[in-house]
Amino acid sequence: MNYFNPFSSARNFFQYLSSLTCRRPFGLVYHVVSDQSLPHIRHLFPYKKIEYFEADLIYLKENYHLLTYDELKHRTKNPAKLKKDEIFISFDDGYSECFTIIRPLLKKYRIPCVFFVATDFIDNRAMFYRNQLSLCIDKIIGSDEKSWQTLEAQINSAIRDRIEGKINWISHLKSLNYPERDTINIIGEILELDFQKYLNEQKPYLSSESIQSLSSDGFTIGAHSQGHAKFKWLKESEMAEDIQKSCHVIQALTGAADTPFAFPFSVSRSDLNGMWHILSKHKSAGLLFNSGKFVRSNMILNRIPADKPPSGSKTNLPELIQAAHSAR
């Protein structure tokens, strides 16, 4: 006997997820698209080349209605009007490729998008600690063994550790987080990395002018915190300040009445419940977005990570959606 598989297509799976998440819209989150191997990103996660991202857009355009931010707000207020083939696209962190590469493709296919920007990095004023880590890893990999032995001894002495070997150091670096920013800077100095020079010359993040242009084009700009700290590392007062200040920075650039907010990394349902009284005080924040894992809550919109490049066909969105189901 042949049984009907409700997850036999990406669209069926989107319908299923909609029923589980209180009939709220959800969508895709990317970070960067480029044909270049970007030193500040390549050791963090794989990302799609331009042709693969364009294939994603064609697939989405042919199979779904891509929601604007205004439509998202309407659907959250009127969940009964959410259709089965509606999703949205978003980008996190605020890399410069959002303007130089992604913007032209979105305009070509007339696809709306929400860009979530970590406001400390606007105009390349500061560097995301994870981008610093990628540059450190890049320097370690490129060091010859003799040079590395000297550097390794200096780093161990400076941070009072006893880690040996490139592989172990790379693993250790990937484990460092926001609270260890001082340690990351010390390691960067010993490796003779000039983070400020990299910012000045490579300009990895969006400028204020680019953000305003994206907004003028009709795209929505959201806040993604100030320095991309996971909220569990912050005190309650720091969470409140982060949301308020990052949203205000975006509002000052775009003039929008409200600013959507995407939590750095992700949050759980219990995290959201604990933050409710904080969020209710800050009317500047619009809709709230999560990424990575699905949270069954009327407070937040869920997103599936879509950076992973395809291994076969040009678009792997159906497979990524299926994988998200399997990981639930």
Q: What is the pLDDT of residues 269-282, one digit of tens each?
A: 666 666 666 666 66
CATH architecture of residue range(s) 10-123+221-243+255-276+283-326: Alpha-Beta Barrel (3.20)
Cα 101 from chain centroid?
16
Predicted confidence at residue 281, as pLDDT, reads: 65
What span, in angstroms and rounded, lies between the C-alpha atoms of 325 and 328? Answer: 5
Instruction: Fill in the amino acid letter for 50.
Output: I
The reported pLDDT for the residue numbered 235 is: 81
Q: Which residue has the higher pLDDT, 2 or 36?
A: 36
Predicted pLDDT of residue 91? 99
pLDDT computed for residue 19 by the predictor: 45
Among 58-67, 167-176, 225-234, the range scoring the smallest mean pLDDT is 225-234
Query: CA 32, 87, 294, 233 torsion: positive or negative?
Result: positive
Choose among 120, 140, 136: nearest CA to 128: 120
Which two tokens mark 316? Answer: 């792997």
The average confidence (pLDDT) of the chain is: 87
Rounded distance between C-alpha atoms, residue 82 and residue 104, angstroms? 28
The closest alpha carbon to 24, from 72, 70, 63, 57, belongs to 72
Q: Give the pTM.
A: 0.88
Question: Where in the chain are the domains?
Answer: 10-123+221-243+255-276+283-326, 129-200
Q: Mean pLDDT throughout 25-39?
A: 94
